[in-house]
Amino acid sequence: MNVGIIGGGVAGLTAAYQLSRAGHKVAVFEKRPELGGQAGTFRVDSARLEVFYHHLFTNDTDVISLIDELGLSRNMVWLESKMGFFHGGRVYDFVTATDLLKFTPIGIIDRIRLGLVAMNLRRFKDWQKLEGITAEEWIKRHAGERNYEVVWGPLLRGKFGESAGEVGMVWFWGKIHLRFASRGQGGREKLGYMLGSFGQITDALAQRIAAAGGTLHTSTPVKRVLAEGGKVVGLEVEGKGKMAFDAVLATVPSPAFLNLAPALPEEYAAKLKQARYQAAVCLVLVMNKSLSRIYWLNISDPSIPFVAAIEHTNYINRSNYGGKHILYLSNYLSPSHRLYNATREQLLAEYLPHLKKINSQFDPSWVEQSHLFRDDAGQPIITTNYSARIPEHRTPLRGLYLANTTQIYPQDRGVNYSVRLGQTVAGLISDDAGKG
């Protein structure tokens, strides 16, 4: 079978790899100059680095298995992380139970409640029971108003902005369940990273696809999905015209999919129209000094215009980057936010004064390079009773399939679940091909 795949991110490439292994002919079309999508990379001098920070948890079994299958396990390292929390002008360690007991912005009873809630969510598996309640309502009820005000509320607002109050508890459960389930004895957390960047996965998948006779086209946008008589027949591709395919998989965000396939029936299209996203915005700083001793610093200060400061070189040795310190300033913005369309220079001017709050010694001269990356569909907004609104992978147009981050549920988006998504949809396409 001849399969066209729209999007060269991890899900699209994984699907293409699985389909090509099964004997199908695949063609991948990526509108950007490079493959990888949200797992794309760029260069810091001679080193390769993710445009959006990445690490793996010990229970990310799908991508770990794929890494092993691709012969890349030798490049994986598992290291203890240094997590922190910034509140009230101070950086707090936020990893172990002892760290929690020392977290004085909340009282001792609230500290105990916070720890018990995290422990219970780690063990809780029946997430369907949480679908009808918001994260805000559940946290206030079970962890208390103060814990919401100081800890979880600022992080939800930083991630989802004005939609924070709508976020379903299942999304919050997924984050806590995943994170704490990856911790070992004593509460210490080990995270996985691929030395040389996770771009090696993209490279290896592309090589395997090409070796199996597949083709990969970058800087090649798809203009339209072609359908006749309720069945997909091909794609209209910029610079290539109309191309015939027996099946098409789209791995693009829901609004983009609607534009590509306007012939979709209204009931299915209505699910796509309900999808909402926050844009992921990362300003990456290459510095000659370190901002803090923390790898992942969550920000609980409404005056600071970013939600987290991830100092990659507090996790992976800076010798891998010519001795430089790598700092990601992470943000999630709605289209209505004043910084949504800000340039790199504007964000730099906005952010730099706030780094002095984290480290009083900080000076702008520490910053030698800055790079801005954004993805308008960076974070789907997961609301209550979300499962009823997830579009099916098999669309009503026979031979047309969808795989995007709105369908990763109850988990949140990430490399592991993109791999799983690609494998799942490739299986559906192969099964349908077998049925004739």
Residue 353 and residue 295 in one domain: yes
Among 154, 181, 208, residue at a domain's last position: 181
The residues, ordered by sequence, that sit 6+ positions from 141 with a Cβ below 8 Å of its Cβ are: none
CA-wise closest residue to 203 among 11, 64, 40? 40
Residue 14 and residue 79 in one domain: no
Residue 50 lies in a domain: no
Among 342, 363, 380, residue at a domain's last position: 380
CB 139 within 8 A of CB 152: yes
Q: How many domains does the chain have?
A: 3
Q: What is the DSSP string of 172-206?
A: HHHHHHHHHHTB-GGG-BEEEEETT-THHHHHHHH
Phi and psi dihedrals of 98, rounded to 5?
-65, -40
Residue 193 and residue 302 in one domain: yes
User: Which tokens go with 153?
Assistant: 């509320």
Residue 346 and residue 317 in one domain: yes
pTM value?
0.95
CB 309 within 8 A of CB 291: yes
Residue 223 and residue 347 in one domain: no
CB 164 within 8 A of CB 278: no
If you average pLDDT over every residue of the chain, what do you get? 95
Residue 116 and residue 162 in one domain: yes
Residue 282 and residue 376 in one domain: yes
| Residue range 135-170, pLDDT digits in tens | 999 999 999 999 999 999 999 999 999 999 999 999
What 3-state class would DSSP assign to 67?
helix
| Residue range 13-64, pLDDT digits in tens | 999 999 999 999 999 999 999 999 999 999 998 899 999 999 999 999 999 9
The rounded distance, in Å, linking the Cα atoms of 45 and 56 is: 25
The angle, 0 to 180 degrees and rounded to 10, between the axes of the packed helices 61-69 and 415-434 is 70
The rounded distance, in Å, linking the Cα atoms of 350 and 367 is: 14
| Residue range 392-407, pLDDT digits in tens | 999 999 999 999 999 9
Residue 376 and residue 295 in one domain: yes
Residue 7 and residue 87 in one domain: no
Range of the domain at 230: 2-39+198-275+384-434
CA-wise closest residue to 77 among 416, 317, 321? 317
